[in-house]
Amino acid sequence: MGSVSLNVPAPRRGGGRRISCHCSPALLNLLMFLALLSTNALALLAFFSSSSPAAVHDPSAATASAASTISDHVAAIAREIDTSSHLPHRADGLPPELLLFLSPHALPLGRDARTGLTHMPASVAHSCFRSPTTLSLLAAFMSYDPHAACPRNATLQQHRLLSKACEPLPRRRCLSRGPRTAPLPASNMGVDSRRWVKPRHDYEFLLDDVLRLSAIRIRIGLDVAGGAANFAARMRDRGVTVVTTVLDNAGKPMNEFVAARGLFPLLLSPAHRFPFYDGVFDLVHVGTNALDEGGAPSMGNSGTEEALEFFMFDVDRVLRVGGLLWIDSYLCQSEERRQLVVNLIERFGYKKLKWMAGEKAGTGSAKTALYLSALLQKPAKG
């Protein structure tokens, strides 16, 4: 067999001889194989080791662990909803359509790898089941013939449920009867030709003055509890699109009336979270009673500071930075109530562009009503 000669030059400062090594090819191949094998073994050991300090302090490992914990929590919540005890002791008298909707539905792609769930329960508000009266009303709402026309009193039942914060409602498999065929009355709907256009009271701001004070262009707005959408109609004349939250009251077809005016009605109970993305509105208009309604009076929370906080934080959420919050002629029944609202507003740190507060005379009551009107600009949060 031949041999391989390795000649290694000697350092220049130590002398002049070269170092020479004669090795057989078989021995050299064996040495290279052993080196490769040991390198791979060390790499595998490092990969599968879970107790090394690097693995413990790896940020990606911590993120994966946190995500796994969140998934476990989501799965636990979903299983709790799935096995909830709202219905079993009340299910006997519920209509089949409601039970069918409330039954867990199989996920279209099978088992979810993160949560381990194979079925998902339906989405229905918890408040729908909190009292026998509301549950009875919900059962009547879901009593219908599938694939046929919806009952004639379905609209009234729907609004009664929404006023009790039973939202979202279950979907139904019946055909809507559509709007009424009789013409909508144009009178007694609260249409006022002077409101926001000509001065009526000191505490009422005019639209043109508000738009002039804005630091940004007002393009789209939200009117909370806007009634017949008179505010939206005035803003449309100035090129501004306004969505009006409307809840029919006392049988008045307010949503149909607003739509007949070519405006956008949004059927929404006062206690419900706004179904909009964060920071999409340039203007939020809060009318005379919206602050009280936003406190969910049907749930007995209209006087609490917490109920107002939930409402105001949701208003702040949908309003963009630099946008305007217009509290329009809010009437308070006591100084304590007015101070509660004022303290809550000041916590947000909004810039006061206009501010009017005082007593309203001529209310026809022995108690003096207090009013508050404010035009506020949302600041950038740190």
- The answer on 166 and 285 residing in a single domain is no
Residues 266 and 144 in one domain: no
Cβ count within 10 A of residue 195 = 17
The gap between the terminal CA atoms of the chain, to the nearest Å, is 79
Q: What is the pLDDT of residue 253?
A: 78
State the pLDDT confidence band at 354, using cuts at 50, 70 and 90: very high
| pLDDT value of position 231 | 93
- Same-domain status, 161 and 233: no
Residue 40 belongs to some domain of the structure: no
pLDDT of amino acid 45? 74
Same domain as 370, residue 246: yes
Decide which of 133, 160, 175 is a domain's last residue. Answer: 175
- State whether the Cα torsion 347-296-370-326 is positive or negative: positive
What DSSP element (H or E) covers 109? none
Considering the domain boundaries, does residue 66 fall inside one? no
Contacts of 356 (CB under 8 A, 6+ apart): 202, 203, 371, 372, 373, 374
Q: Confirm whether pTM is higher than 0.85.
A: no
Kindly list the distances between the CA atom of residue 297 and the CA atoms of 291, 304, 329, in Å, as whole numbers in the listed order.
Answer: 10, 10, 19
> What sign does the dihedral 152-157-160-166 (CA atoms) show?
negative
pLDDT in tens, 268-291: 876 788 999 999 999 999 987 777
For the cut 50, the answer to whether the pLDDT of residue 299 exceeds it is no
The verdict on 277 and 354 lying in the same domain is: yes
Whether 233 maps to a domain, the answer reads: yes
Same domain, 251 and 337: yes
Both tokens assigned to 256:
């149909």
| pLDDT band with cut points at 50, 70 and 90 for residue 320 | very high
Residue 192: the pLDDT is 66
Work out the average pLDDT over 98-119.
80
* 298 assigned to some structural domain: yes
Give CA–CA dist 182/332, Å, rounded: 38
The Cα 284–Cα 381 span in angstroms is: 18
For residue 98, pLDDT beyond 80:
yes
In a shared domain, residues 167 and 212: no
Burial group, residue 27, by CB count within 10 angstroms (0-12, 13-18, 19+): exposed
**Which pLDDT score is estimated for 278?**
95
Domain range spanning residue 372?
Answer: 207-378
Q: Is 224 within the bounds of a domain?
A: yes
Range with top average pLDDT, 27-41, 84-98, 186-200, 221-235 = 221-235
Query: CATH number of the domain that 267 lies in?
Result: 3.40.50.150
Q: In this structure, are 211 and 314 located in the same domain?
A: yes
Q: Are 299 and 371 in the same domain?
A: yes
In a domain, 28, yes or no: no
3-state secondary structure 243-273: EEEECCCCCCCHHHHHHHCCCEEEECCCCCC
Count of other CB atoms within 10 angstroms of residue 45: 10
pLDDT digits (tens, 9 = 90+) for 3-24: 555 555 555 555 555 555 556 6
Give the three-state DSSP class for 212: helix
Is 345 contained in some domain?
yes
Is the same domain home to 131 and 217?
no
| Integer Cα distance of 283 and 326 in angstroms | 7
Spatial contact of 46 and 52, defined as CB atoms under 8 Å apart: yes
The total number of structural domains that make up the chain: 2
Which candidate, 269, 271, 287, places its Cα nearest to that of 232?
A: 287
pLDDT digits (tens, 9 = 90+) for 125-150: 777 877 888 888 888 889 989 999 98
Hey, which bits of 172-318 come out as E strands?
A: 220-224, 241-246, 264-267, 281-286
49 lies in a domain?
no
Q: What mean pLDDT is reported for the chain?
A: 76
Question: Which pLDDT value is given to residue 232?
Answer: 94
Same-domain pairing of 231 and 362: yes
Residues 171 and 212 placed together within one structural domain of the fold:
no
Please compute the mean of the pLDDT values over residues 65-75 and round it to a whole number. Answer: 58
